[in-house]
Amino acid sequence: MRGSEALGALGDRRFAWYFTARTVSTVGSAMAPVGLAFAVLHLFGSASALAQVLAARTAAMVVFLLIGGVVSDRMSRRTVLQVSHALTALTQGLAAVLVIGGHAHLWMLTGIEAVNGAVSAFTMPAMMGIVPLVVDRSRLQQANALLSFSRSGVTVVGPSVAGLLVVAVGPGWALAVDAVTYLLAIACLARVSIPGRVRDPDAPRTGMVHDLREGWHEFTARTWLWVVVLAFGLLNVIQGGVLGVLGPLVATRVPALGPGGWSLALSAEALGTVLMTLVMLRLVFRRPLRAGMLGIALVALPVAALGVQPTTVPLVVAMLLAGAGIEVFGVAWTTALQVHVPDAVLARVASYDALGSLVALPVGTIAYGVLADRFALEPVLLVSAGLYVVLCGLTLASRSVRDLPHGAPQDADERPRAPA
């Protein structure tokens, strides 16, 4: 595929404006966590205070995620995004004013972040569902790769810029920039033309519970979908626990790695995602989930490296490869959902998918903290690496996962069915 063809999705004016909106809002989103963390630590000097603020955001997101999926399927997804962005701009702007003015109390920031978490529960399903509406289906993988490239690149640069703002003028200004980026994103979304939904005037109105049941039915009716989500409920426990808890712990105990080596490894993972995105712009996988599961299995490499040879160079190489594998799965999974799940229920199905991922992450953090206190780290890491590979292999053992085609649904298992 030539370079011009790889970027062909940007030739669609609707996607070009949506891509711009996503990129601009992601800049702020990448800066906000740094600004918020330093603001809370500066004002209250307590890790538990920061944990309280972050937990409030996550809890609110989990509570409202399924509702967000229903709303995003019922309403214009562009409208859902614009309203969500407006609320985020308002809350982050309020937080910025409070922090800059020195009037922030812990309960205020906790409440603001809880609102932000609830808002993001509507944003995520809407973003998943809007891409198939603004780009030709033949270019879905390229469109998702472009969005991922933007997100990965901004994620590498955004925290550094936020750090500079924190040092130069204070953490509140990083939150202020975040608020402004969401206002700019709203203006960009206004230029995105989305076809209206045709609804049968004789169709009966349905309630929230019915819509949730319909989304659950669509989720469970596709074997490849629930098998992969079930697998990732376990894979995320390992990945989140090892990279979130054991990795930093090993870095503090092994002088040959140290905090500096661990930071380089994390940067290598981000670089791997960026580089693989460039490859994904030119490739189209005939069996996207087969490629995705083989790619995500590479995460076992840094897990094993931490246990066998926790030094900087081997770990950096392993993390670079893992980042590339994570990117392959991310683009393949997003594209598979958009191709094989009907647009009418896509946001609800995406919310069930996200819920499964979010619920698993705290479990991994707690479980690996306990394991680190009770057992030697090397066997825990090596067993975790082996288990990670086994889980990926078991997932690929499902023919529904292994043979899912890139194009339109081809068998009865993938076609939408009416709920019982």
pLDDT in tens, 32-50: 777 787 788 778 876 567 7
Contact by Cβ (8 Å): 21, 195: no
The pTM score is: 0.76
pLDDT at 388 over 90: yes
Q: What is the largest CA-CA distance in the chain?
A: 70
Helix, strand, coil percentages (3-state) for the chain, rounded to 5, are 80, 0, 20
pLDDT tens for residues 137-171? Answer: 778 888 888 888 888 777 667 666 777 777 777 78
Q: Which residues does 388 contact at the CB level (< 8 Å), separation at least 6? A: 235, 238, 239, 297, 299, 300, 303
Q: Which residues does 54 contact at the CB level (< 8 Å), separation at least 6? A: 113
CA distance 81 to 381: 41
The percent of residues above 70 in pLDDT, for the chain, comes to 90
CA distance 310 to 9: 42
pLDDT tens for residues 239-258? Answer: 888 887 788 788 878 888 88
Nearest CA to 65 among 112, 118, 130? 118
Domains of the chain, earliest start first:
3-192 (1.20.1250.20), 212-402 (1.20.1250.20)
* Buried b or exposed e, range 89-109, using 16+ CB within 10 angstroms: bbbbbbbbebbbeeebeeeeb
The top-scoring range by mean pLDDT among 134-143, 259-268, 312-321 is 312-321
Distances from the Cα of 68 to the Cαs of 73, 74, 118, 120, 332, in angstroms? Answer: 9, 10, 9, 9, 23
* Buried b or exposed e, range 288-322, using 16+ CB within 10 angstroms: bbbbbbbbbbbbbbbbbbbbeebebebbbbbbbbb
The enclosing H or E element of 249 equals helix 247-253
Q: Which residues does 340 contact at the CB level (< 8 Å), separation at least 6? A: 222, 224, 225, 404, 408, 409, 414
Q: Given this model, what pLDDT does residue 195 score?
A: 67
CA distance 119 to 99: 21
- What mean pLDDT is predicted for residues 105-132? 89
CA distance 131 to 135: 6
Distances from the Cα of 99 to the Cαs of 58, 158, 175, 387, in angstroms? Answer: 21, 20, 9, 45
For tokens 């690929």, name the residue: 396
CA distance 264 to 319: 9
